[in-house]
Chains A and B, each alone.
Chain A
């Protein structure tokens, strides 16, 4: 799966992404609570359409449908739906329950990213303690009937518009920073096979037309400009062009730049690869916390103590001095 896979790099904004953002902003803007509720069905349709379009255009599926893909879609979908539901709820108790849905979906995503301890810690602390505290405070500060706090929102459409412009900017930046590596892998494969051949004719059969190959290598190197090894690719492409431009093209002269190209391409691909996490997440986390981050752990403890004292000090009712 790739992010915005069919948007070319010099396109300002892919049309699918634009439609998704506009529908999302319209849905949120319509559904935010007002004294007289607007067209709820239209807002819901906009929101669902935005989600479906996001599933097809923003996060484009390709490759086999593994359980990881299904779980990612499920957790990500529930997280975003829960977040949107929290925004549009009139009653703050229901908003707290929607936030619990967001927390559990986020914990599912943590589990997909090999962080089981964080999943358990987040569920216990967030869903178990913070939201329960919220519900207690809500219970003590209940409001019945129409109220200013619940039924009015400040500038719903303007806020949704601004927020979704920010989301579009973030998604565009992510698209540029993490381009798909499929084409680069194919080019590196061609270079690897070509450099093991003996004659230039065989080499050219592997890489195809040299000019087109060089142009594609340059394009891919510029797409991956965020990794430092791309300059190695560009210089190898220069050397290859120089070797091919001579009057008599020698196999040795072509093989060396092809080797450099394959090495630089492999370096760029290796940067994109996932590095393995230590197995035994809890043990490794404990070792890291109490050796590398010991000072931060102690400061965290002091912070919790100070927050407890502060919370009690703030809400303490001042009693009159005894006469």
Chain B
């Protein structure tokens, strides 16, 4: 028999992982996936409480949570698409000037390492025996 607090601990771990990802990553889509992971942690908590107290309120709440998450996903992805059309990149730091006025700008100091040169696609020499063409022997 697994006590309630173990499920709540798993929910807490997922929530914290989502929070770390949301604060850290700069790709808009991964930031949004981390927000969804926070919602999953909360859903685990709600369903565990529903099981403990013996009524379905927690499960009903989770169902509405899924509904709101679906709406949020649709709208957020629409916004991500519009932002991508604006700057041709999914980086959230490109929109820094939307921040509060007193915060200093985020400047990337570490340069990227040299990218390996792209290998051209291989061209193969034709190999093998040319297949015999059917000869037109007679036109009878």
Q: A residues engaging B (CB < 8 A)? A: 1-3, 28, 32, 34-36, 58-59, 63, 66, 68-69, 72, 76, 79-80, 83-84, 86-87, 89, 92, 95-96, 99, 102-103, 106, 109-110, 112-115, 117-118, 121-122, 125-126, 129-130, 133-134, 137-138, 140-141, 143, 145-156, 159-160, 162-164, 166-167, 170-171, 174-175, 177-178, 274-278, 281, 284-285, 288-289, 292-293, 296, 300, 303-304, 306-308, 310-312, 314-315
> How far, in Å, is A231 (CB) from chain B's closest CB?
22
Which B63-104 residues sit within 8 Å CB-CB of chain A?
A: 63-64, 66-75, 77-82, 84, 89-94
Chain A residues whose CB sits within 8 angstroms of the CB of B28 once the complex forms: 149
Identify A150's interface contact among B27, B51, B55, B93, CB under 8 A.
B27
A170→B16 contact, CB < 8 A: yes
Q: B residues engaging A (CB < 8 A)? A: 1-10, 12-14, 16-21, 23-30, 32-34, 36-37, 40, 43-44, 47-48, 50-57, 59-60, 62-64, 66-75, 77-82, 84, 89-94, 106, 108, 110-113, 115
**Given that A59-B9, A304-B67 are contacting pairs, would A106 and B43 also be in contact in the complex, using a CB cutoff of 8 Å?**
yes
**Given that A109-B7, A171-B12, A303-B71 are contacting pairs, would A311 and B78 also be in contact in the complex, using a CB cutoff of 8 Å?**
yes
A147→B29 contact, CB < 8 A: no
9 contacts between A and B (CB under 8 A): A87-B24, A118-B63, A134-B29, A145-B115, A154-B23, A178-B4, A275-B54, A285-B56, A311-B75
3 tightest Cβ-Cβ pairs between the two chains A and B: A275-B54, A307-B71, A149-B91
> How far, in Å, is B74 (CB) from chain A's closest CB?
5
A133→B74 contact, CB < 8 A: yes
Q: Is the interface of B mostly helix, strand, loop or mixed?
A: helix
A63→B10 contact, CB < 8 A: no
B82→A315 contact, CB < 8 A: yes
B73→A3 contact, CB < 8 A: no
Chain B residues whose CB sits within 8 angstroms of the CB of A99 once the complex forms: 33, 36-37
**Given that A35-B113, A276-B54 are contacting pairs, would A285 and B37 also be in contact in the complex, using a CB cutoff of 8 Å?**
no
Q: Which residue of A lies closest to B90 (CB)?
A: A149
Chain A residues whose CB sits within 8 angstroms of the CB of B78 once the complex forms: 310-312, 314-315
Chain A residues whose CB sits within 8 angstroms of the CB of B66 once the complex forms: 121-122, 125-126
A118→B106 contact, CB < 8 A: no
Q: Which residue of B lies closest to A95 (CB)?
A: B30
**Given that A148-B89, A164-B16, A303-B68 are contacting pairs, would A141 and B81 also be in contact in the complex, using a CB cutoff of 8 Å?**
yes
